[in-house]
Amino acid sequence: MRLINNLDKIGTSGVLLTVLLSPCCFPIIAVAATVLGLGSFELFGEWTMWIFQAMVLISIIGLYISYRRHRCLYPLIAAVISGFLIIYGYHFDTSDYWVHLLYAGLISLLLATIWNYRRNKLHSCCNITSNNQDQLIELRSTITCPNCGHKKDEIMPTDACAYFYECEKCKVRSKPLKGDCCVYCSYGTVKCPPMQGSNPCCTS
């Protein structure tokens, strides 16, 4: 699971490693490598660009997996654009500036990975918070529709109880069961934040 969750960072690290260890394929990198005496160094030989593109694909897959978790589309869009620039530049652009598209795609992929890392951290912080007594409050709950059985992960509000819940599948609007303060207490895997705390304001 940890490997899957870090697939985007593994892919982007692989891209950067391929570039650094194969400077002949990337002229700007080659200039810097020449200063270090690595100007003619070529680790992967004729496989360099295929490995480079494979790492880009791994990174995009990792960003898609992260998108399904935090639902922020922008890092994934940036990664897809970077992949398009790299594929188009290498396979279809016949001008002398094709390598510039590779650099643009590389920078875009790096920014997408950094952006995605920040979104993952923000998402993790949103899943668990704490109240005034330093008691951990879990905000993520999987709610099951009592009408059709559809399940969905939701982030519960911290300052109010959710009395109604509309299922995205069957569109039926549900109310809490008798004796419960909200739909999460009735149909969720985790009680609502006020009920988790030492002062359940929803029942007052």
One-letter identity of residue 24 = C
CA dist., res. 55 & res. 7, Å (int):
10
- Contact of 64 with 38, CB cutoff 8 Å: no
Average per-residue pLDDT for the chain: 79
Q: Encode pLDDT of 26-61 as tens digits.
A: 665 655 555 555 555 556 667 778 888 888 899 888
Q: Is the dihedral of CA 161, 167, 171, 176 positive or negative?
A: negative
**CA atoms within a 13 Å half-sphere pointing along the CA-CB vector of 113:** 28
Q: What percentage of residues in the chain have a pLDDT greater than 90?
A: 21
Most confident of 39-53, 118-132, 133-147, 172-186: 172-186
Check whether 123 has a pLDDT greater than 70. Answer: no
One-letter identity of residue 73 = L
User: What confidence category does residue 152 fall into, taking pLDDT thresholds of 50, 70 and 90?
Assistant: very high
Only one residue has tokens 């598209």, namely 101
Q: How far is CA 204 from CA 194, 200, 201, in A?
A: 11, 7, 5
pTM of structure:
0.54
